[in-house]
């Protein structure tokens, strides 16, 4: 074990500040001159660059190995660098985007995917990822909703923790795991009007109740790093937000891991207008013990030394921050082996291996959501003629945003997937139109209609492009871009056996499509094995079981729309949705209910819920209630069902959500099988934030239901004593 304190003792202040600085990979592998190129932009001289603590982004292990080797030769303190990258949903083999993974409701599968990503990342020379992203969000206009697991606190927390456990494994020294970094602390998902980088205004109550729990769950799961968000929360950017970074994170939560800024977040304190210059920006971030400065500028190196000399900060604080970074390196085993399993052989063995592709395919199957099915699906493999129509018919750009080192050319298209599964079918591919915003060109419809007419089945392959969601990609509309909905309408008119497969990184407004076609399978961005997964799902080799993790609105005006809202004083009977009743909570030009509620998702099986039972109708502080429900697969198709338990706290000192996911289990069923699914309810699950922002439960009546949001069934009541 390295003696970290002894290492720190031998370091100069500049050495230490370089240790807290992260540079981009291109600084080390690109232009060799300090006068031009990325090196020049880093603001650091060669001597400083020799002492840098961490690097962001490498394309392959050769670069990583070369740069680490040179560093170990040149760094006077011989401290290996830690290499980080956004391994968000896969490294080279890409699995579905996190929002899709949320729809799988399968934490074990999430872990398996992250372990796979870690193995590939280790081979490629990466030691840490900037994930999980657990920003709670309710606004589909925000492009980054694709990175989190949706609008439910419990699901987002469990999925966040599963990612931490999956990436980090049992022991970071095992050379199969990488360090995880929870981001973006806190509340970034509340961006006003879904516009990326805008400020977030959240009451402490709402922040604590909905936004903070998932970050905390990741910390409890042992996450190694945390990234504050670069936007403004209640007037103060998180990087400079004392309440958030010191009072909540360090004091209340006792977080002991590394804090790394987001990209340029420190220098952007100047752009936000909370620091007059980089000197002040450095002071604000350092005061919050943001340990590592990520890229672009080097404001710690350039400013903090002087502040320590002047007594603004102590060297003791600097040492504490450096120690955290060195501890991370020690945990990763970098002092024993700075290369940590990176090799071209390991890359060859791991990248896109049969096993990894199988995991990615299974994940895509488990996260797809069957939104509608009037009986057209599953398709028969005896079909003779299939028309694949739409921009995604034979398109390999379906990995999704943030797909790390994944490559489109290694991704299976729908056409390739179907060709492989039903080799005897005659497949016609017609694009019909683009999915460019504002494209009104319908000249491709004619060929598409012709193909539809002569085919037994049409698969419409529609959606957003993969770069129409993700960072910086906010939208003011949520429709299928271009004339895709019109195309669908025309096609469905000439062929009633038309099914739609829809792609997106966010919930879309699919009402028009819903009215046009008899079946919709929403596949999100499914990753490398997308086409194979889609083929399996369409032809019944896989049975859809995903449930949507984020509400699909009817129209953009409903945003933000989410299932776990509070009651108003004027709530309307949902049966009357769409009818305008004066002085009630209603839009006068639309219903209040969404197109598809949180938890919606069909299957080729038919699950019937019977007999919800509570072991007692009262609960004490240290007691428990067993809740059981019988679920019957009333069909001849084996399948999986996400059994959900919802609650409502009827009277409390703050208005409670009218429905709130309390627990869920994903259960496998044989054809015709009946199973008793059991949950345990204890008092801590009933806690909420009271008007003093204390996390408490209050005695009174609670409702327990099964079903899913807006479609609850079998409600029972119990009393918390």
Distances in Å between the Cα of 469 and the Cα atoms of 18, 233, 464, 474 are: 35, 23, 8, 7
Per CB under 6 A, contacts with ligand BGC among 22-41 are none
Residue among 15, 86, 152, 262 flagged as catalytic: 262
Q: Considering beta carbons, is residue 262 or 464 the nearer one to ligand BGC?
A: 262
Question: C-alpha angle with apex 524: 523 to 525, nearest 5 degrees?
Answer: 105
- Give the position of tokens 């996260």: 367
The counts of H helices and E strands in the chain are 23, 26
| Rounded least distance, CB 183 to ligand BGC, Å | 6
Cα distance between residue 294 and residue 52, in whole Å: 11
**Least Å distance between CB 408 and ligand BGC?**
20
Q: Check if the beta carbon of residue 405 is closer than 8 Å to that of residue 92.
A: yes
CA distance 95 to 100: 9
Please identify, using beta-carbon distances, which residue of 253 and 263 lies nearer to ligand BGC.
Answer: 263
**Region class of 707: left (phi > 0), else alpha (psi between -120 and 50), else beta:** left
Give me the least distance between CB of 234 and ligand BGC, in Å please.
Answer: 19
What's the min distance (Å) between Cβ of 159 and ligand BGC? Answer: 17
* Contact flag: residue 130 with ligand BGC (CB under 6 A): yes
Residue count, binding to ligand BGC (CB under 6 A)? 6
Among residues 39, 92, 138, 183, which is the contact residue for ligand BGC, using CB under 6 A?
A: 183
Comparing CA positions, the residue from 498, 361, 492 lying closest to residue 420 is 361
Residue 112 or residue 471: which is nearer to ligand BGC going by CB?
471
Q: For residue 297, what are its two tokens?
A: 């500028």
Nearer to ligand BGC, 147 or 366 (CB): 147
Strand partners, 214: none
Distance CA 23, CA 297 (A): 9
The yes or no reply on residue 339 touching ligand BGC (CB under 6 A) is no
Q: Is 174 noted as a catalytic residue in this protein?
A: no
Question: Minimal CA–CA distance to 524: which of 568, 449, 463?
Answer: 463
Place of tokens 């003779």: 384
The gap between the terminal CA atoms of the chain, to the nearest Å, is: 53
Q: Within positions 383 to 412, which residues make up the interface with ligand BGC, using CB under 6 A?
A: none
Q: What ranges make up the beta strands (E) of 5-53?
A: 21-24
**In terms of CB distance, is 24 or 538 closer to ligand BGC?**
24
- The token duo for 242 is 């004392």
Is beta strand 128-129 parallel, antiparallel or unpaired with respect to 232-233? unpaired
- Whose CA is closest to 605, among 548, 543, 555, 551? 543
The residue among 352, 405, 361, 460 whose CA lies nearest residue 96 is 361
Measure the CA–CA gap between 37 and 218, rounded to whole angstroms: 38
Q: Could you tell me the two tokens for 490?
A: 């025309």
Please tell me the distance from the alpha carbon of residue 674 to that of residue 662, in angstroms, as a whole number. 23
Measured from the CB of residue 300, what is the shortest distance to ligand BGC in angstroms?
Answer: 17
- CB neighbours of 261 closer than 8 A, spacing ≥ 6? 227, 228, 230, 239, 285, 290, 292, 293, 294
Indicate whether 609 belongs to the interface with ligand BGC (CB under 6 A): no
What tokens appear for 402 in the block? 């943030």
Q: Say how far apart CA 634 and CA 604 lie, in whole Å.
A: 11
Q: How far is the CB of 79 from ligand BGC (least distance, A)?
A: 22
Nearest approach, Cβ of residue 325 and ligand BGC (Å): 17
In the bound state with ligand BGC, the residue whose beta carbon lies nearer, of 129 and 509, is 129
Among 14, 38, 112, 263, binds ligand BGC (CB under 6 A): 263
User: Which residues, at least 6 apart from 297, have a Cβ–Cβ distance to it below 8 Å?
Assistant: 43, 264, 266, 267, 278
The whole-angstrom separation of Cα 117 and Cα 56 is 17
CB of 641 to ligand BGC, least distance (A): 34
Map tokens 């797809």 to a residue: 368
CB of 130 to ligand BGC, least distance (A): 3
Instruction: Decide: 482 and 438 in contact? Cβ < 8 Å.
Output: yes
Single out the residue of 106, 139, 262, 366 in contact with ligand BGC (rule: CB under 6 A).
Answer: 262
Which two three-digit tokens encode residue 1?
């074990």
* The two structure tokens encoding residue 35: 């006068």
State in angstroms the smallest separation of the CB of 263 from ligand BGC: 4
Closest to ligand BGC by CB, 200 vs 619, is 200
CB-nearer residue toward ligand BGC: 399 or 554? 399
CA-to-CA separations, 178 to 65, 71, 268, 293, 334, in angstroms, rounded? 16, 21, 29, 20, 12
- CB of residue 181 vs ligand BGC: minimum separation in angstroms? 8
Which residue, among 659, 633, 656, 632, has the nearest Cα to 645 in the 3D structure? 659
Minimum Å distance from CB 268 to ligand BGC?
11
CB of 182 or CB of 352, closer to ligand BGC: 182
Q: Which is nearer to ligand BGC, 22 or 479 (CB)?
A: 22
Of these, 63, 86, 366, 490, which contacts ligand BGC (CB under 6 A)? 86
Q: Residue of minimal CB distance from ligand BGC? A: 130
| Exposure class string for 111-122: b at 16+ Cβ within 10 A, else e | bbbbbbbbbbbb
**Closer by beta carbon to ligand BGC, 197 or else 339:** 197
Residue 471 interacting with ligand BGC (CB under 6 A): yes
Binding of residue 196 to ligand BGC (CB under 6 A): no
Of 148 and 595, CB closest to ligand BGC? 148
Residues marked as catalytic: 262
- Contact set with ligand BGC (CB under 6 A): 86, 130, 183, 262-263, 471
């Amino acid at each position: 074990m390295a003696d970290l304190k002894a290492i720190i003792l031998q370091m100069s202040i500049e050495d230490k500040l370089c240790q807290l600085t992260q540079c981009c990979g291109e600084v080390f592998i690109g232009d060799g001159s300090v006068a031009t190129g990325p090196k020049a932009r880093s603001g650091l001289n060669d001597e400083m660059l020799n002492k840098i603590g961490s690097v962001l982004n490498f394309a392959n292990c050769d670069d990583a190995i070369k740069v680490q080797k040179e560093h170990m030769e040149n760094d006077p303190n011989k401290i290996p660098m830690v290499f980080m990258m956004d391994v968000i949903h896969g490294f080279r083999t890409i699995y579905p985007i996190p929002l899709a993974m949320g729809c799988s409701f399968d934490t074990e599968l999430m872990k398996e995917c992250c372990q796979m990503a870690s193995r590939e990342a280790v081979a490629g020379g990466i030691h840490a990822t900037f994930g999980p992203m657990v920003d709670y969000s309710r606004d589909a206009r925000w492009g980054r909703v694709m990175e989190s697991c949706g609008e439910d606190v419990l699901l987002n927390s469990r999925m966040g923790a599963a990612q931490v456990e999956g990436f980090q494994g049992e022991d970071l020294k095992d050379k199969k795991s990488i360090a995880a970094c929870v981001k973006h602390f806190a509340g970034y998902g509340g961006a006003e009007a879904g516009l990326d980088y805008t400020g977030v205004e959240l009451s402490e109550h709402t922040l604590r109740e909905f936004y903070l729990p998932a970050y905390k769950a990741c910390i409890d799961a042992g996450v190694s790093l945390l990234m504050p968000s670069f936007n403004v929360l209640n007037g103060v950017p998180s990087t400079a937000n004392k309440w958030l970074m010191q009072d909540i994170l360090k004091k209340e939560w006792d977080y002991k891991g590394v804090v790394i800024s987001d990209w340029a977040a420190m220098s952007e304190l100047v752009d936000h207008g909370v620091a007059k210059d980089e000197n002040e920006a450095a002071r604000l971030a350092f005061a919050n013990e943001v340990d590592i400065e990520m890229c672009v500028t080097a404001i710690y190196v350039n400013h903090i030394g002087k502040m320590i000399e002047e007594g603004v900060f102590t060297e003791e604080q600097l040492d504490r921050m450096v120690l955290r970074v060195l501890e991370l390196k020690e945990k990763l085993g970098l002092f024993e082996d700075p290369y940590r399993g990176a090799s071209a052989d390991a890359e060859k063995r791991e990248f896109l291996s049969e096993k990894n592709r199988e995991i990615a395919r299974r994940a895509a199957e488990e996260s797809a959501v069957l939104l509608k099915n009037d009986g057209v699906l599953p398709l028969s493999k005896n079909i003779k003629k299939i028309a694949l129509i739409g921009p995604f018919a034979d398109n390999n750009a379906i990995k999704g945003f943030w797909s790390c080192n994944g490559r489109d050319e290694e991704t299976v298209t729908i056409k390739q997937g179907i060709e492989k599964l039903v080799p005897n079918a005659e497949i016609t591919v017609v694009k019909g139109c683009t999915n460019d915003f504002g494209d009104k060109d319908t000249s491709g419809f004619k060929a598409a209609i012709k193909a539809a007419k002569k085919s037994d089945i049409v698969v419409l392959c529609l959606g957003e492009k993969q770069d129409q969601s993700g960072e910086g990609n906010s939208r003011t509309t949520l429709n299928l871009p271009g004339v895709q909905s019109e195309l669908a309408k025309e096609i469905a008119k000439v062929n009633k056996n038309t099914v739609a497969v829809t792609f997106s990184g966010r919930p879309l407004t699919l009402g028009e499509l819903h009215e046009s076609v008899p079946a919709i399978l929403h596949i999100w961005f499914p990753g490398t094995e997308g086409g194979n997964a889609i083929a399996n799902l369409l032809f019944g080799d896989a049975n859809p079981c995903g449930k949507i993790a984020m509400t699909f609105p009817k129209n953009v005006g409903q945003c933000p729309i989410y299932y776990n809202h509070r009651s108003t004083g004027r709530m309307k009977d949902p049966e009357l949705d769409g009818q305008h009743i004066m002085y009630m909570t209603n839009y006068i030009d639309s219903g209040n209910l969404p197109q598809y509620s949180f938890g919606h998702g069909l299957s080729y099986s038919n699950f019937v819920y019977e007999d919800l039972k509570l072991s007692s109708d009262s609960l004490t502080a240290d007691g428990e209630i067993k809740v059981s429900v019988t679920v019957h697969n009333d069909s001849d198709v084996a399948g999986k069902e996400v059994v959900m338990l919802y609650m409502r706290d009827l009277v409390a000192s703050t208005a409670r959500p009218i429905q709130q996911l309390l627990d869920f289990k994903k259960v496998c069923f044989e054809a015709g099988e009946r199973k008793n699914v059991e949950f345990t309810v204890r008092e801590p699950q009933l806690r909420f934030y009271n008007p003093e922002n204390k996390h408490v439960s209050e005695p009174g009546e609670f409702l327990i239901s099964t079903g899913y949001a807006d479609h609850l069934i079998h409600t029972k009541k119990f009393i918390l004593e």
